[in-house]
Amino acid sequence: MRMINQFFSKIREINQRYSKPTVEMSRAVKISLAVLRVYLFLLVLLMIYKFITVIKVV
Amino acid sequence: MDFFSLLYFRFKKVWKAVRLYLVIAGPGLVVMIADNDAGGITTYAATGAKYGYHLIWFLLLLIPVAYYVQEMTVRLGAVTKRGHAEAIFESFGAFWGWFSLLDLMIVDWLTLVTEFVGMTAALSIFGVPAWLTVILVVLLMSVIVLNGRYWTWEKIALGFCLLNLIYIPAAFMVNPSLSDIAGQGLIPNLPGGLNNELFFLLMANIGTTIAPWMLFFQQSSVVDKGLQEKDIKMGKLDTFIGSIITVSIAIFIVIVTGTLLHGAPIDDAATAARMLMKTNHYIGAFMAIGLFDAGLLGAICISLASSWAFGEIFGWAHSLNTKVKEAPWFYISFFFTLATAGVVPLIPGAPLVLITLFVQVVAVTLLPAALVFLILLLNDKKTMGEYANSRLQNIVSTTIVVAIIILSTMYGVSALFPNLFQ
């Protein structure tokens, strides 16, 4: 139990340490990150779709 | 100054540069040669068997692709003294950091399983049971990693890189026709037109040339080795030489299977080795040894890439220059990844085909993000200073990265939906 608590407090510490991105949020950076989010979202949707179709077949 | 004095002066200058290179060489060579891992050897063997020498020109195109992507990690590591995972956390925040780290962990573990599959298949050709191969590999890697010095680890890894050159004598032993190689292989052509099968193989070749773990590994390796800004030039040369060697090895494999197994159905490199043994025992044995070595090199680098990344983020000591007592979590995570991946091929009925498929799909979620972050980080002039990407470097690297993202996405999607591009 103590180890699990320590682990989660470490995660919180990491989240705190890296809460503010240091890279300058220029327009190019913002656009790149937004496109990346959309790309990953679509990819995850595709994987979920595949997973559901496989489950249906099984 | 007379002729001999001038010659001596030139020789001393060149020798000094060579010695400097030998000191700095390592991360680029190791990452590039390890790039020809078990999955890579299978891809090249299948390419040669299916299309003969016809796709050699395409492999040559991958030299600049591999170089331009990987040299950015050299600059980033040498300037920031941070690994790729830490750089992403710090520059883009915890969300993208966790995404990259967890994705890396999954991709690395799955890839590691495929390395063990390759190694066990390779040694089974010599009658070594799979369980014994796994134990031998884990013991061997313990000896390599636990010596407590990055320098020693790197030199041993370079020794295994040398063994990867075994495909060169194999290629000479098959007596290929040089005119056929030049005529068919060096002139860009698409045998049979751009059909689904050819497209999948081209994408597989790209996919095996740039893998997500390579970015994380080389940057962390540069940091662990302690390369400074003044070493960037030699670090880049190291990467360039590595990219030439890795593609050359790929071409020699294509020549071997393209000469002896042209038209044969090859699903994996171990099958190719078995078939080659029927023609020439030594060439088959070379193929199997090369496959084992490729898997071992891949396993060494991939498991380290994960451990370095976790060490950077969790603040553990994470250097090969540390003893087990000084960096227990670094070594525990290394062996945990290694041992759990090693066990999978030993499980009867383990879904190895599904795992191979998963590697391709999950890699597609990590590779574009890691590449985009790489370019953005290299454009952060505040951090990179004079080592930030120039306009020309941005044009070249962005073009390459966009092409890789499109093709690797199509590769991943076609792995999910095999009939999509038919």
Mean model confidence pLDDT for chain B:
85
CB of B93 less than 8 A from some CB of A: yes
Mean pLDDT of B238-242: 92
- Give pLDDT, residue B420: 67
Q: Tell which wins on pLDDT, B229 or B319.
A: B229
- Which residue is associated with the tokens 């796994």? B134
Q: How confident is the model at residue B357 (pLDDT cuts 50, 70, 90)?
A: low
Q: How confident is the model at residue B129 (pLDDT cuts 50, 70, 90)?
A: very high
Mean pLDDT of B146-165: 84
Closest CA to B43 of B209, B166, B223: B209
Q: How confident is the model at residue B144 (pLDDT cuts 50, 70, 90)?
A: confident
pLDDT at residue B60 is higher than 90: yes
Q: Which residues of A touch B90 (CB under 8 A)?
A: 18, 21-22
Residue of A nearest to B416 (CA): A50
Phi, psi of B123, rounded to the nearest 5 degrees: -75, -20
- Give pLDDT, residue B247: 93
Closest CA to B55 of B151, B149, B191: B191
The distance of Cα B313 from the centroid of its chain, to the nearest Å, equals 23
pLDDT at residue B148 is higher than 70: no
Q: Which residues of B touch A33 (CB under 8 A)?
A: 92, 96
> What does the pLDDT look like over B399-416, one tens digit per residue?
988 888 888 788 777 777
- Give pLDDT, residue B197: 76
Sign of CA dihedral B214, B215, B221, B224: negative
CB contact under 8 A, A43 and B92: no
The encoded tokens of residue B94 equal 């915890």
Query: What DSSP letter does each residue of B210-272 carry, written as one string?
Result: S-HHHHHHHHHHHHHHT--GGGHHHHHHHHHHHHHHHHHHHHHHHHHHHHHSTT---SSHHHH
The whole-model pTM stands at 0.86
Residue of B nearest to A47 (CA): B416
> What does the pLDDT look like over B285-314, one tens digit per residue?
999 999 999 999 888 888 888 888 888 888
Q: How far apart are CA B36 and CA B4, in angstroms?
A: 44
- Give pLDDT, residue B208: 80
- Give pLDDT, residue B244: 93
The encoded tokens of residue B108 equal 């690395």
pLDDT at residue B200 is higher than 80: no
C-alpha distance from A36 to closest chain B C-alpha (Å): 7
Q: How confident is the model at residue B1 (pLDDT cuts 50, 70, 90)?
A: low
Q: Tell which wins on pLDDT, B207 or B41.
A: B41
Query: Most A CBs within 10 Å: which of B86, B88, B89, as the mutation test of the A interface?
Result: B89
Contact predicate B133/B120, CB 8 Å: yes
Per cent of chain B over pLDDT 70 is: 96
CB contact under 8 A, A33 and B90: no
Q: How far apart are CA B236 and CA B241, in angstroms?
A: 9
C-alpha distance from A46 to closest chain B C-alpha (Å): 8
- Give pLDDT, residue B421: 60
Q: Which of B89, B372, B413 is opposite residue A46, by nearest beta carbon? A: B413
pLDDT at residue B3 is higher than 70: yes
- Give pLDDT, residue B38: 85
Q: Please, which residues have CB within 8 angstroms of residue B17's CB and are 6 or more apart in sequence?
A: none
CB contact under 8 A, A39 and B368: yes
CB-defined contacts A:B, below 8 A: 53
pLDDT at residue B422 is higher than 70: no
- Give pLDDT, residue B172: 92
Q: How confident is the model at residue A29 (pLDDT cuts 50, 70, 90)?
A: confident
Mean pLDDT of B153-179: 88
Mean pLDDT of B209-216: 85
> What does the pLDDT look like over B247-295, one tens digit per residue?
999 999 999 998 888 888 887 888 888 888 888 889 989 999 999 999 9
- Highest mean pLDDT among A15-19, A23-27, B168-172 belongs to B168-172
- Give pLDDT, residue B131: 92
CB of A42 less than 8 A from some CB of B: no
pLDDT at residue B20 is higher than 80: no
Question: What's the one-letter identity of residue B382?
Answer: K
CB contact under 8 A, B94 and A47: no
Q: Which of B91, B313, B361 is opposite residue A22, by nearest beta carbon? A: B91
The ipTM assigned to this model is 0.87
Q: How confident is the model at residue B153 (pLDDT cuts 50, 70, 90)?
A: confident
Query: Most B CBs within 10 Å: which of A3, A7, A18, A47, as the mutation test of the B interface?
Result: A18
